[in-house]
Chain A
Amino acid sequence: MTAFWADALLNSIWIVLGVTGVSLLISVPMAWLIERTDLPGARSLGRVLSLPYVVPSYLLAISWITLANPSVGWLKGLGFDIYGLGGIIFVEASALFAIVFLSFRAGLRSLDPALEEAARLGGASPLGVFFRITCPLLKNTIFASLIAVALASLASFAVPAMIGSPARVFVLTTGIFSLLKQGSLAAQSQALVIAVEMGLVALALVLVSRFFMREQASLLSGKSSRPALVRLGKLKPWLAIGAWTVWGLVAALPLVVLLLSSFMPDPGDSSFSGMSLKAWRYVLADLPGFWDAVANSLIVSSVAALLVLLVSIPVALLAWQGRYGKKRRLRALAAFFEDGALLSYSLPGTVIAVLLIFFAARFSFLGLADTLSILVVALVAKYLTLGLRTLGPGALNVHPSLIEAAQLSGAGSVQRLWRIWLPLLKPSIFAALLLVLMPCVAELTMSLLLYGPGTETLGVSVFQLQEYADRASASVVGSLLLFLVLGFQVSAGRLLGEH
């Protein structure tokens, strides 16, 4: 192994450890404060805290570069420098901690409150209960979510590319990217070897995390009671300020900066008097290839989302029949699809893209290289699991008596499916559509490796604008993506909520 790869490997390891560590330190206390104490505004904080997770992480990177670039950043006077390992860890953790937060919070909610209350009455202080009862009970949940964070930070490409590469800090994914850009055959086959090794590590991590998830005993109680909230007392205002500051730092600040930056076309001027619509006009009217990128992104992600549905709906039907028809084999078949999709989801985007590049080269008669189709294949491979995960539980909610009633009314199997089962599943189907569209429309890692002349997507266009140091235009396209993604997220949440 060359010194370059030894270095890249070491950097990747540092990032994985740093991001998982920081995520643990932010998420667990925050989830506890929100679920278990009388923290003011806990409910709203819980709702908005995971906001950065749904935002593409390269948008956070752009904002932080805007703020803390040592030469032209808005905070350059304060001596911040975002470029380097520390910056990568900070920006990634600010998005990925939500994985730990959401699953730990779900764990806290599913815990029988009496388990903790009994410890209080046994004489343990609130923190004593937390460390001696709550954490040991939920330790498998915590481990599994930490592994998910480790996987995501190992796979991340955009943040290390934007924040690491300018400081000559390379990781495995950005190393593979630069090898492929060299174009020589030797470099390409080296990239393949490293990508395959990375993929194997990722698969091993998934298997370990599945072990933890299976081990996590169900701790639900039949009786739903309100847990006794810990009184924060004198610390209350300070903890509230602290918790909301964390949110401001990881979510509000970068998103506001992204929007503001799109209205500040002059790179040197960050005063409010310099605000104008110039960058917006430029992107919407004059930026070469912008509307092609919009069209490409929309086409690729809609086709991918529809294909995902085309697979997910039959699999959900299999799972449903397996469950309620007590047909073991159908259930196993559905589980096979679900596991396969989960595994390919866990592969880093870079690995999927490299594998596809070599596949397209080997079977060149398919004419896949540099087409929109190869992007669609990549997106379906990566995000099929999102469709399955939404439709599976949705389908199991359809009680068999509803279908039996239709049968007794004289409906044949096709009619039962078409007139009862599918309409009942409609909210889940639309939600799945949106949940797949969301990451697809903003996808960057795979697109950047797979795009060819004329098949640039929005993610690619943001990345290129950022590379050309056109901060304002990158922020404009980024803001558009932000609104698109948030729109999808809110609509999907509504659909799943009403279901």
Chain B
Amino acid sequence: MSIEFRELSKSFEANKPVLRKLSFELPHGKFSGLLGPSGCGKTTLLRIVAGLDSPDMGSLRVGDETLVDVGRGIFVSPEKRNIGMVFQSYAVWPHLSVFENVAFPLRVRRLPKGQIEAEVKEALRIVRLEGLEKRLPHALSGGQQQRVSLARALVQKPRLLLLDEPLSNLDVNLRSEMRVEIRQLQQSLGLTAVIVTHDWADARALCDHVVVLNGGRIEQAGSSQELMNSPASEFVRSFAKAGL
């Protein structure tokens, strides 16, 4: 599913736009990265895709479905978008076991018991958490909570996987390990994925396509190689350089 933004604008306070008439597209079946310093609008953009924020103007299409079109009064609520998201704080529910955390999207969809069991098991196998089904989140490490969050996002077979700074709370070793795993998952499942990050290393290791944002506008888009070799602006050059 490609993601298509048209003239998207958003401001939380008057005269302080976070996004300024953004129009661009993220490719189907690829791993895209939204990159930029804090306050550049990348998280807001991701939350608009998820339906957790709504733009003031513009439209958003995923595949051939219009999810948001302010002009035509269209807004598909987040629970109807079938989008999986991994949050920066993981957002693993502390009152539910690992199994129940992952099973939640399937329970909401009222799938039969046997199917839920099988699919949760499969999702936990994919993120390599077999055997921890009965644990409560507080008995898990940060990396394990991250995997629960990932399994929960994948179990509903989402059309998009969104990742909001998923690696920033992990220590350095775990971070590069998770990068490899997430990348392999995305490729083997053929997912369209979008990651928000301020870390150039994430973009290089994960992304087929990188969009650098600054002050609510696009500085440059392309592969990370292109951006490094021929930066379109001083901003991109220094940003790429600082991340090396």
Which residues of A line the B interface, CB within 8 A?
112, 114-115, 117-125, 128, 132-133, 136-137, 217, 219, 221-223, 226, 228, 231
Whether A228 contacts B47 by the Cβ 8 Å rule is: yes
Cβ-closest 5 pairs across A and B: A114-B91, A122-B105, A228-B52, A114-B87, A118-B91
How far apart are the CA atoms of A132 and B89 in the complex, in Å?
20
Question: Which chain B positions have C-beta within 8 A of A115?
Answer: 91, 93
A221 closest partner in B (C-beta): B89
Task: Flag if A123 contacts B109 (CB, 8 Å).
Answer: yes
Interface size on B, residues (CB 8 A): 33
Residues of B within 8 A of A (CB): 12, 47, 50-53, 75, 77-85, 87-91, 93-95, 104-105, 108-109, 138, 149, 152-153, 156
Give 19 A-B pairs besides A112-B91, A114-B91, A223-B88 with Cβ atoms closer than 8 angstroms: A117-B50, A117-B52, A117-B87, A118-B91, A119-B104, A120-B77, A121-B79, A121-B153, A122-B79, A122-B108, A123-B79, A136-B95, A222-B89, A223-B89, A226-B12, A228-B47, A228-B52, A228-B53, A228-B78
Closest-CB distance, A215 to chain B (whole angstroms): 11
CB contacts (< 8 Å) of B79 on chain A: these are: 120-125, 128
By CB atoms of chain B within 10 A, which of A121, A133, A221 has the most?
Answer: A121
Bound CA–CA A182/B53 (angstroms): 66
Query: Which of A123, A133, A226 has the most B CB atoms < 10 Å from its CB?
Result: A123
Interface pairs (21), CB distance under 8 Å: A117-B52, A117-B78, A117-B87, A118-B87, A118-B152, A119-B93, A119-B104, A119-B108, A120-B79, A121-B50, A121-B51, A122-B104, A122-B108, A123-B80, A123-B82, A123-B108, A124-B79, A128-B108, A217-B138, A221-B89, A228-B47
Contacts of A121 in B (CB 8 A): 50-52, 78-79, 81, 83-85, 153
Chain A positions within 8 Å of B84 at CB level: 121
Chain A residues contacting B83 (CB-CB under 8 Å) are 121
Contact A231 B108 (CB under 8 A): no
Q: Is the CB of A219 within 8 A of B156?
A: no
Q: How far is the CB of A189 from chain B (nearest CB, A)?
A: 50
**How many angstroms from the CA of A221 to the CA of B138 in the assembled complex?**
14
Q: Which of B50, B108, B153 meets A124, CB within 8 Å?
A: B108
Nearest residue (CB) in B for A112 is: B89
B93 A137 Cβ-Cβ under 8 A: yes
A232, chain B: closest CB distance, angstroms: 12
Q: Does the CB pair B93–A133 fall under 8 Å?
A: yes
**What chain B residues lie within 8 Å of A223 (beta carbons)?**
88-89
Q: A118-B152, A228-B52, A228-B78 are in contact. Are A124 and B95 (CB under 8 A)?
A: no
Chain A positions within 8 Å of B77 at CB level: 120, 231
Q: How far is the CA of A120 from the CA of B53 in the complex (A)?
A: 12
Q: Tell me which residues across on chain B come within 8 A of A124, comparing CB atoms.
A: 79, 104, 108
Q: Which residues of B contact A228 (CB under 8 A)?
A: 47, 51-53, 78
CA distance A124 to B87 in the complex (A): 17
Q: Which of A125, A128, A223 has the most CB of B within 10 A?
A: A223
Distance in Å: Cβ of B81 to nearest Cβ of chain A: 7
A122 touches B156 (CB 8 A): yes
Nearest A-chain residue to B84, judged by Cβ = A121
B91: contacting residue among A117, A123, A222, CB under 8 A: A117
In the bound assembly, the distance between CA atoms of A115 and B51 in angstroms comes to 15
Measured CA separation A217–B78 after assembly (Å):
28
Chain A residues with CB under 8 A of B91: 112, 114-115, 117-118
Query: By CB atoms of chain A within 10 A, which of B53, B90, B108, B149 has the most?
Result: B108
Bound Cα distance from A214 to B47, whole angstroms? 34
Alpha-carbon separation in the docked complex, A209 to B138 (Å): 24
Which residue of chain A has its CB nearest to the CB of B83? A121
Q: Is the CB of A219 within 8 A of B105?
A: no
- Which residues of chain B have C-beta atoms less than 8 A from A119's C-beta? 93, 104, 108
Chain A: minimal CB distance from B104 (Å): 5
Q: Which of B50, B52, B85 has the most CB of A within 10 A?
A: B52
- What residue in chain B is nearest A218 (Cβ atoms)? B94
Instruction: Say whether B93 contacts A123, CB under 8 Å.
Output: no
Q: Please indicate the chain A residues that have their CB under 8 angstroms from the CB of B149 in the complex.
A: 118
- Least distance between B111 CB and chain A CB atoms (Å): 11
A494 to B163, CA, bound (A): 42
Taking a contact as CB atoms under 8 Å apart, the answer to whether A114 and B156 are in contact is: no
Is A118 a contact partner of B85 (Cβ separation < 8 A)?
A: yes
Closest Cβ of chain A to B164, distance in Å, is 8
CA distance in complex: A132, B153 (Å): 18
Give the Cβ gap from A109 to chain B, nearest Cβ, in Å: 16
| Cα separation A73 to B165 with both chains bound (whole Å) | 63
Q: Which residues of B contact A133 (CB under 8 A)?
A: 93
| Cα-based distance from A278 to B95 in the complex (angstroms) | 62
| B1 smallest CB distance to A (angstroms) | 15
Cα-based distance from A115 to B156 in the complex (angstroms): 17
Write out the residue numbers on chain B whose beta carbons fall within 8 Å of the beta carbon of A132: 104
